[in-house]
Chains A and B, each alone.
Chain A
Amino acid sequence: MNRFVVFPGFFSVLLMAGCSSLPDLDAGKRALTENSSAEAEQHFMALSRRGFPEATLLLGDIQRDQGNREKALELYRQSLELGVDKAYSRMARLHYRKSAGGQSPEQALSIIKEMEEFDELQAKLERANLYHEWPELTPFDTRLKLFDELIASGIEKACLYKGTALLNKVLDEERLQPDREKMTEAWNCLLGVVGSEHQALKPAIQLVMVFPEIGSIEALKDQLEDSDLGISRLYAQLGKAFYSDENKTTESLLAAKEYFLKATETDHEAWAELFRMALKYPHVTDSEELSEWFEKAKESGFKEADVWKAKQFLAGVYSITDPFSAEKLLLPHVEENAEASFLLGRLYLTEMLGQARFYEGFELLSQAAEMGKPEGYLEIARILHEGLGIAANPIQARIYAEKAWQMGARRAPELLYEIEASRVSESGQDSKQDSVIQSEG
């Protein structure tokens, strides 16, 4: 082979070998699925600087998932300018999704109107999503008409929306004289999509519990038996339905326990529900049974079993409070489990293990927040505000509380209000003292 081939050939191989660490969209997406958002961000950032619109969009997703709404919106706007139409939906959702802290559905509606110009169906679906979350924005009939249009276009999710809307209409306004026809229609809608839309299960069970003559658990079982969702999700939802019974009678809690236990056979999440209930209502089980559940949960691969056991030790339910055992259980999980990081961080800030370890505590709480638990920042803010064991620092407290609020911590506004109120009263006292000094002078 002549030299013209050998040199460029080797050159190509060397070039390929040396470039394995180049930024790459797929590598970034893989990092995201492996919960390594810092690595993903590096890939997307480098590509975004090189003008890749999708990378800018994905950077927006990372910011959104970390609770930085404004930053996410800015990045979505940038990717929209670069021609990524998907950014419309994401922007709208940030404005209307309550779980993402969205409180401005009107703004979302104006974005959806822009969307209509180039993707009518997607815009309609987005509008339906919005009306489902904010039903008060538009009359019932208008919503129903939109859902029907989407159902006619083959959008299954619209059946969930229609069923939920009909059910809520009856529950809110016609509970005493329910329209049987409406309820049957709602049931048919929900039953039809319960196998593919997991959100349909909750209203379907609600309908069965309120109108047992129209829907039945058996029908839901039939529907879910062969579906991707699986029957365990039904049991978990039934457990939740009994658990959320307003009266919380022993019977309803025992029924919930039974369903949660059935669900744990295939659904790990049901363990969490079961432990939550057991720690809150100790009379539904005993310490022996609870220990057995922890073992089973661990064996079945439920990674958070240790964290729940630590919670039990910390709460002193079924046994005396045992912070040392809790620490031992939590330590191996702090790197990958936000809850473990949060609990241990909070434990270190107390004197339960001896002297408080503020530095480690703050580190762990920050880590928990970075892993998606904003309460970590909120806890730091509370310590700094109240000066529990350290000097109070209202400015830093406010910064952390704001961070927690941006990430969607529910109690953040309350703490922010407290911080602000105490700052005002302190400055008021200062000004009074100033006036005394001046008058004395």
Chain B
Amino acid sequence: MEVRNKIIKTLTVTTAVFTMATSISASADWSSFVNARVSHDRATDSYLGSRDTKTDFGITALDVRYGGVWQNDNLGSLDLLTRFYLAGSDKEIGNTGFDDNNSRTFAELKRFNYQLTNPVHNGEWQYAIGRTRFRESSGMMWDKDIEGFSLGFHSTLLNAEVRVSERLMAWRTDQTDFFNEDQKIRYYSGIVDYQWFYQSHISAFVLHQDDYSGLQPIGSLHNSEDIDRHDRNATWLGLSISSQFEQGIAVHLGVQTVKGEGVDSNSSSVGSKRQITGQQTYDISGWLLDAGVWWEMPQLSSWFGVNLTLTSKGEDKGDREGFIQSDLASNRYRASDLGLSFYKTGYAYRQTLENLSMVSLLYGFRQEQWRAGVQWNLIQRRNSKAGVGDSQISTEEGLIAGNHSLGQTLDFEVSWLPENLQFFESVDRVQLTMRAGLFRAGDAYGNASGKTRSRVLLEFKVRQDLEDF
């Protein structure tokens, strides 16, 4: 693995340097920017007080991103985004206060891809190769920096893309953030979106996840972070339809199915390590339904939306046979053009969409310099005897069989994008954001029912396009 990584890294860097040099010598246009961000993310206990030790945490970080695009009509474009995490400081809060301080500093290659437009027909076709980011509107594939090759067709009415991708290595100097769990998983995907009338879309996607890593043998000992906890080989199919009507009402309906199989590893503590104690194989067969209505109220600069999400509940055998998401899923909302990024199941809870029914109410507000949004969710477990997906909440007692209510979440986000700040008058964009999330546990959490977890993020971003500097 190490040798392969080195070869790929060397090849990528060589290709990058060669392409940059060629682009520059061919008078290619290079536009670049710097984005600096200071953030503080603080959350209360994720065990909801079920453990003796409290696990509140706070992360203060300063990171700088440098990115740019080389553009040449003949050679295509090269998209680069690097991140320098300059002063990340994690603080876990124990009984005695801030007793654990892990400061971090690293550099990371976030995005680096070469893209050629117009190889076939009038600029509508394009292919990209390299470390890319890609998105799919339902959130099933979203925002991952991952190596891949894609071929796309982009026009006003039709947008389609086929892609093969696999995360090949960590591009961070501290070599973290690339665990065994995430390695040797290949994704094949195809997305088609057709706009049959203005702002009316029908979209379909297919995603196949091929996890060829294989689990560690039973009885072997590993560090906790090195364990490959599951292998899943599954195929997701999705179909969605959305339309916006003249009266400012927009509706969307999406369905997804998944079929495949998975193996989970069980492990237990042996001293400072964990030992693999068993493996459990299961079938994956599930569906998801997501439907919503939005009202746009331009006179109030506001949007109001109602959304319903249902996922299959699986069998009562304790098997995970409900809807399971791919390892790429991020579950961010894109229900309307708010410019906000809500997590579907709330910022403080962030459960994956498995075995649940969820009703959401959303409100968004946008004026020139301000964006704000509120989201409330009521989340139920559909099968009260089966487990749910991963979340940020983990109680000692676990979920109580027979109880449906997982809880409620309330999120609030506000962003200020001032246009004329004297202090920052030479800067292209300034943004101040506050995101706050509250989770209140339901009766499925037994003794922790009624307890809350909150999470708050404060973020200050400055962007400067360097050609204007």
* Residues of A near any B CB (own CB < 8 A): 1-2, 4-5, 8-9, 11-13, 15-16, 19-20, 22-27, 30, 47, 50-53
Partner of A22, one of B120, B125, B158, B190: B158
**CB atoms of B188 and A9 under 8 A apart:** yes
Q: Determine which residue in B197, B199, B208 has the highest number of CB atoms from chain A within 10 A of its CB, and name it.
A: B208
B40 at the interface (CB under 8 A from A): no
Chain A at the B interface: SS class: helix
**CB atoms of B188 and A22 under 8 A apart:** no
Q: A110 vs B319: C-alpha distance in the bound complex, in angstroms?
A: 71
Partner of B157, one of A1, A11, A22: A22
B197 neighbours in A (Cβ, 8 Å): 50-51
Q: A424 vs B67: C-alpha distance in the bound complex, in angstroms?
A: 74
**CB atoms of A12 and B122 under 8 A apart:** no
- What are 30 A-B residue pairs whose CB atoms fall within 8 Å in the complex? A1-B188, A1-B210, A4-B237, A5-B188, A5-B206, A5-B208, A8-B204, A9-B162, A11-B190, A12-B161, A12-B190, A13-B151, A13-B162, A16-B158, A16-B160, A19-B157, A23-B157, A24-B122, A26-B155, A27-B122, A27-B124, A27-B155, A47-B156, A50-B157, A50-B195, A50-B197, A51-B198, A51-B199, A52-B156, A53-B198
User: A4-B259, A5-B188, A51-B197 are known contacts. Are A24 and B124 too (CB-CB below 8 A)?
Assistant: yes
Query: Considering the complex, which residues of chain B in the window 103-162 have a beta carbon less than 8 Å from any beta carbon of chain A?
Result: 120-125, 151, 153, 155-158, 160-162
Q: A152 vs B165: C-alpha distance in the bound complex, in angstroms?
A: 53
Q: A12 vs B204: C-alpha distance in the bound complex, in angstroms?
A: 9
**CB atoms of A8 and B190 under 8 A apart:** yes
**CB atoms of B259 and A19 under 8 A apart:** no
A13 neighbours in B (Cβ, 8 Å): 151, 162
Partner of A5, one of B158, B199, B235: B235
Q: A9 vs B199: C-alpha distance in the bound complex, in angstroms?
A: 25
Q: A224 vs B359: C-alpha distance in the bound complex, in angstroms?
A: 65
Q: A11 vs B204: C-alpha distance in the bound complex, in angstroms?
A: 11
Partner of B122, one of A15, A30, A53: A30
B196 at the interface (CB under 8 A from A): yes
Closest to A9 in B: B190
Fill in one digit per residue for B180-203: 1 if any A CB lies within 8 Å of its CB, else 0. 000000001011100111110000
B242 to nearest A CB, angstroms? 14
**CB atoms of A24 and B157 under 8 A apart:** yes
**CB atoms of A50 and B190 under 8 A apart:** no
**CB atoms of A1 and B208 under 8 A apart:** yes
A19 neighbours in B (Cβ, 8 Å): 153, 155, 157-158, 160
A5 neighbours in B (Cβ, 8 Å): 188, 206, 208, 235
Closest to A55 in B: B156
B192 neighbours in A (Cβ, 8 Å): 12, 15-16
Given contacts A9-B206, A23-B157, A52-B198, 17 further A-B contacts (CB under 8 A): A1-B210, A4-B237, A4-B259, A5-B188, A8-B190, A8-B206, A9-B188, A11-B190, A12-B161, A12-B191, A19-B155, A20-B153, A24-B155, A26-B155, A50-B157, A50-B197, A51-B197
B198 neighbours in A (Cβ, 8 Å): 50-53
B156 to nearest A CB, angstroms? 5
A118 to nearest B CB, angstroms? 11
A30 neighbours in B (Cβ, 8 Å): 122-123
Q: Determine which residue in A2, A12, A19 has the highest number of CB atoms from chain B within 10 A of its CB, and name it.
A: A12
A386 to nearest B CB, angstroms? 47
Q: Determine which residue in B120, B155, B208 has the highest number of CB atoms from chain A within 10 A of its CB, and name it.
A: B155
User: A16-B160, A20-B124 are known contacts. Are A8 and B155 too (CB-CB below 8 A)?
Assistant: no
B208 to nearest A CB, angstroms? 4
Q: A1 vs B121: C-alpha distance in the bound complex, in angstroms?
A: 30
Q: A1 vs B206: C-alpha distance in the bound complex, in angstroms?
A: 13
A210 to nearest B CB, angstroms? 40
B153 neighbours in A (Cβ, 8 Å): 16, 19-20
Count residues on chain B whose CB falls below 8 Å from chain A CBs.
Answer: 31
Query: Considering the complex, which residues of chain B in the window 196-234 have a beta carbon less than 8 Å from any beta carbon of chain A?
Result: 196-199, 204, 206, 208, 210
B160 neighbours in A (Cβ, 8 Å): 12, 15-16, 19
User: A23-B157, A26-B123 are known contacts. Are A2 and B162 too (CB-CB below 8 A)?
Assistant: no
B15 to nearest A CB, angstroms? 26
Closest to B233 in A: A2
A53 neighbours in B (Cβ, 8 Å): 198
Q: A426 vs B106: C-alpha distance in the bound complex, in angstroms?
A: 93
**CB atoms of B156 and A26 under 8 A apart:** yes
Q: Determine which residue in B156, B191, B237 has the highest number of CB atoms from chain A within 10 A of its CB, and name it.
A: B156
Partner of A8, one of B124, B151, B199, B237: B237
Q: A5 vs B237: C-alpha distance in the bound complex, in angstroms?
A: 9
A12 neighbours in B (Cβ, 8 Å): 160-162, 190-192, 206
Q: A13 vs B164: C-alpha distance in the bound complex, in angstroms?
A: 14
A11 to nearest B CB, angstroms? 8
B120 neighbours in A (Cβ, 8 Å): 20
8 nearest CB pairs, A to B: A51-B198, A4-B235, A12-B190, A8-B206, A16-B153, A5-B208, A24-B155, A25-B156
Q: A223 vs B121: C-alpha distance in the bound complex, in angstroms?
A: 43
Query: Considering the complex, which residues of chain B in the window 234-261 have a beta carbon less than 8 Å from any beta carbon of chain A?
Result: 235, 237, 259
Q: A168 vs B153: C-alpha distance in the bound complex, in angstroms?
A: 55
Q: A15 vs B153: C-alpha distance in the bound complex, in angstroms?
A: 10
Closest to A22 in B: B157
A15 neighbours in B (Cβ, 8 Å): 158, 160, 192
Closest to A8 in B: B206
Closest to A50 in B: B197
Partner of A23, one of B121, B156, B161: B156
B204 neighbours in A (Cβ, 8 Å): 8
Q: A188 vs B210: C-alpha distance in the bound complex, in angstroms?
A: 70
Q: Determine which residue in A1, A23, A24, A47 has the highest number of CB atoms from chain B within 10 A of its CB, and name it.
A: A24
Q: A9 vs B123: C-alpha distance in the bound complex, in angstroms?
A: 22
A27 neighbours in B (Cβ, 8 Å): 122-124, 155
**CB atoms of A50 and B196 under 8 A apart:** yes
Closest to A3 in B: B235
B190 neighbours in A (Cβ, 8 Å): 8-9, 11-12
B111 to nearest A CB, angstroms? 24
B158 neighbours in A (Cβ, 8 Å): 15-16, 19, 22
Closest to B298 in A: A83
Q: A30 vs B160: C-alpha distance in the bound complex, in angstroms?
A: 21
B5 to nearest A CB, angstroms? 25
B157 neighbours in A (Cβ, 8 Å): 19, 22-24, 47, 50
Closest to B158 in A: A19
Closest to B258 in A: A4
Closest to B259 in A: A4
B195 neighbours in A (Cβ, 8 Å): 50
A105 to nearest B CB, angstroms? 32
A47 neighbours in B (Cβ, 8 Å): 156-157
Q: A54 vs B295: C-alpha distance in the bound complex, in angstroms?
A: 23
A160 to nearest B CB, angstroms? 24
Q: A25 vs B123: C-alpha distance in the bound complex, in angstroms?
A: 12
Closest to B196 in A: A50
**CB atoms of A4 and B155 under 8 A apart:** no
Q: A195 vs B81: C-alpha distance in the bound complex, in angstroms?
A: 36
Closest to B204 in A: A8
Partner of A2, one of B191, B196, B199, B235: B235
Q: A47 vs B157: C-alpha distance in the bound complex, in angstroms?
A: 9
**CB atoms of B208 and A22 under 8 A apart:** no
